[in-house]
Structure 1
Amino acid sequence: MSQLPAVQISALTKSYGNKQVLQGLDLTVPAGTVLSLLGPNGAGKTTTVEILQGLRHRDGGTVSILGEDPGRASRAWRARIGVVSQTSADFKDLTVTEAVGHVARFFSHPADVAKTIDRVGLSDDARTRAARLSGGRRRRLDVALAIIGRPELLFLDEPTTGFDPEARHVFWDLVKDLRTDGTTVLLTTHYLDEAAQLADQVAIILGGRVVEYGTPEALARQAGSQCTVSWIENGVERTEPTTAPTAVIRGLMDRVTGPDGEIPGLRVHTPSLEDHYLELVSHHHTA
């Protein structure tokens, strides 16, 4: 595995007319890790990713992707990255096997077509035309097209949109396998549970800057140590904020335990990455 970061960004700026979208953004993604970019619409995520992919020019700052400036990168560099964008490639008239096989021909050492199709869970649809796939299964084809070239860096932009819960978990396993194989993954998602499940590091972008960077666990701890215990007592739902949930539950067992030995409606909510993220976004909007 390379000792150099897969992604290195320093003081990145970008404006559209009078609107400054990126305001000195800094970010490092170590090779072989999964980083999740989080931020509300308009925060600068899409612009950042487009610059990293070489699709948009920056105004200022330095960018190194797999050791090269994407603004001047070669065709050989492009073969080292894979992209799952929000817009699907136009292969409607091709079967799944034909589409993946077609893209595989652009690479010197592609992965096996059948194995790649199986890896994304599309073996049953190998002979199905892309136009006839459901939205979720079309998304799986997008992933297959992105990984057939064995990319060193994989960009995933809202990859599980349209997936049912089972398909999401299958996809999560695929991303974990890719990371184990040494692939660096840059994931943009609005699903906070997805970021918590997959990311080694999370970068939260607000106002064109990275305002928080760290592991999902570390960022969740910044939401505080206070839990919320909820239960039903005399037909009414009650809640109690506490830093000692075990003590609260012990007291409830003496007071409201039902005939089955259970506390009705008992729930304990602990601070999460989502709590911290929503708090940051709320403070940003009111600042």
Structure 2
Amino acid sequence: MTILVFGKTGQVARELAALEGTECYGRDTADLENPVACAALIHSKRPEAVINAAAYTAVDKAEEEEPRATTINGAAPGAMARACATLAIPFVQISTDYVFDGGGDLPWQPEDRTAPLGGYGRSKLAGEQAVRTALGTHAILRTSWVVSPHGSNFVKTMLRLGAERDALNIVADQIGGPTGAAEIAAACHAIARQLIGDPAKSGTYHFSGAPDVSWADFAREIFARSQRDCTVTGIPSSEYPTPAQRPLNSRLDCRATETVFDIPRPDWRETLTDILKDLGARS
């Protein structure tokens, strides 16, 4: 089986590259700022399924570059999905909790009303809508708080800051599920394979690590497991202003993903242990 993957250097793409039957392509081959080229690659390669693990992820910068973000996160996935629909092959699109406004304290259901707070969320929602409009076999997999030994992410930032300082103020009113890139890659791979045999499983799904936690408590666990002596003080988001507003409630209800695809929520504490071992940090 050949699964074409858009993305080569990102956290999830690097994990997908290690899985059987995947062929990963970076922007040197198919730049997502050129949606036509992305569709052309699919037509030329004629894979059995496609996973889009490439995206514009600079949340704050998207406030200034929303048109560019929307091309990459919206128009490109739409072109990919239409190409896949033409070839009658499944398309898996990774999306985000940022399509919601973060209100309340209940986990978001896949069918809940979307209301992005900023340019990044709007660009990702545009991608979701374009994929659905293509009317092909597809899965939109929303996830949150991606972490891994690769690239830039919260775990690596905390390890760096914890080595430099003995105390940190970390946001405590944003709640979500840290999710390992390796687990996301495995989920996307399994979903693509299942959709080949059962297109009726098409739809929108959620996948995030459990249990839900605040950024502050996640940081405390990182320091405890890596034996860093760094005190964490929880603060409200209002005391840590950023150009783009973050959702306070990023809890995702993942039951449909387990029911339909037999993929349970991963325990982020186990994921963290694996990341720390990979990075050579004590755990």
Q: Is the pair's TM-score, using the shorter chain for normalization, greater than 0.5?
A: no
Structure number with larger C-alpha Rg: 1
Q: Which has the higher helix share?
A: 2
Q: TM-score, normalised by structure 1?
A: 0.28
- Structure holding more strand per residue: 1
